[in-house]
């Protein structure tokens, strides 16, 4: 089983970006944590990050095709600020049928009102919010459970 971990805009700045909100863990640390979690769960984890909405959409299309071929269980996706703006990412997830677990490091509901709405949530298979970078671990565990339950 394989899972894609996708990170969107500004998540390449983890570790230096607003540490009071996002902590001191870097993106490289997060990606290592995801690969280690994958090894523990017996799944291969591939990590990608882009600041560009269209690139993220292309990767979801690619992942959707791999999912239909039975090669990919789904994606754990922190879309960053595109969560709150992108109808196109919503449509990409819906249009491909890719199982996506939406992850946010911070509790977006305890922050500014513009972070309370997510275009991704109605298209997501599950949501993990507010657990810090452990959210990626929980997202991977949840996606593996769902994939194994689906057979
Ligand atoms: C975030 C929350 C978003 O509102 C923000 O734009 C981010 C990170 C999080 O992981 O908490 O870039 O997705």
CB atoms within 10 A of CB 126: 18
Specify whether 22 is catalytic. Answer: yes
Q: CB neighbours of 70 closer than 8 A, spacing ≥ 6?
A: none
The residue nearest atom 12 of ligand 1, judged by CA position, is 80
Distances (CA, A) of 75 to 91, 113, 114, 118, 135: 15, 27, 25, 17, 13
Ligand 1 atom nearest to CA at 9: 12
Task: Compute the distance from residue 83 Cα to the ligand 1 centre, in Å.
Answer: 8
What is the CATH class of 2-150?
Answer: alpha beta
User: Could you give the angle at the alpha carbon of 142 between the alpha carbons of 97 and 79, nearest 5°?
Assistant: 60
76, two tokens? 């754990």
The residue ranges of every structural domain in the chain are: 2-150
Summarised one tens digit per residue, pLDDT across range 24-75 is: 999 999 999 999 999 999 999 999 999 999 999 999 999 999 999 999 999 9
What is the spatial order of strands in the sheet that 100-104 belongs to? 44-49, 2-7, 74-78, 100-104, 126-129
Please check the confidence at residue 151 and state whether its pLDDT lies above 90.
no
Residue pair 129/109 in contact (Cβ under 8 Å)? The answer is yes
Tell whether pTM > 0.85: yes
Q: Is 104 considered catalytic here?
A: yes
CA 2 – ligand 1 centroid, Å: 25
- Main-chain phi, psi angles of 50, to 5 degrees: -145, 150
Nearest-atom index, ligand 1, CA of 81:
6
Q: What is the pLDDT of residues 115-143, one digit of tens each?
A: 999 999 999 999 999 999 999 999 999 99
């Amino acid at each position: 089983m394989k899972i894609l971990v996708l990170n969107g805009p500004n998540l390449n700045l983890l570790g230096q970006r607003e540490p009071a909100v996002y902590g001191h863990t870097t993106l490289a640390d997060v990606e290592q944590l995801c690969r280690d979690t994958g090894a523990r769960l017996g799944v291969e984890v591939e990590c990608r990050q882009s600041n560009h909405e269209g690139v993220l959409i292309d990767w979801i299309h690619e992942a959707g095709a791999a999912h239909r071929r039975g090669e990919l269980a789904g994606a754990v996706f922190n879309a960053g600020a595109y969560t709150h703006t992108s109808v196109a990412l919503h449509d990409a997830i819906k249009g491909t049928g890719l199982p996506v677990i939406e992850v946010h490091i911070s509790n977006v509901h305890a922050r500014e009102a513009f972070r309370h709405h997510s275009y991704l949530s109605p298209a997501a298979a599950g949501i993990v919010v507010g657990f810090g970078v452990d959210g990626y671990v929980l997202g991977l565990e949840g996606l593996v459970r769902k994939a194994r339950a689906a057979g």
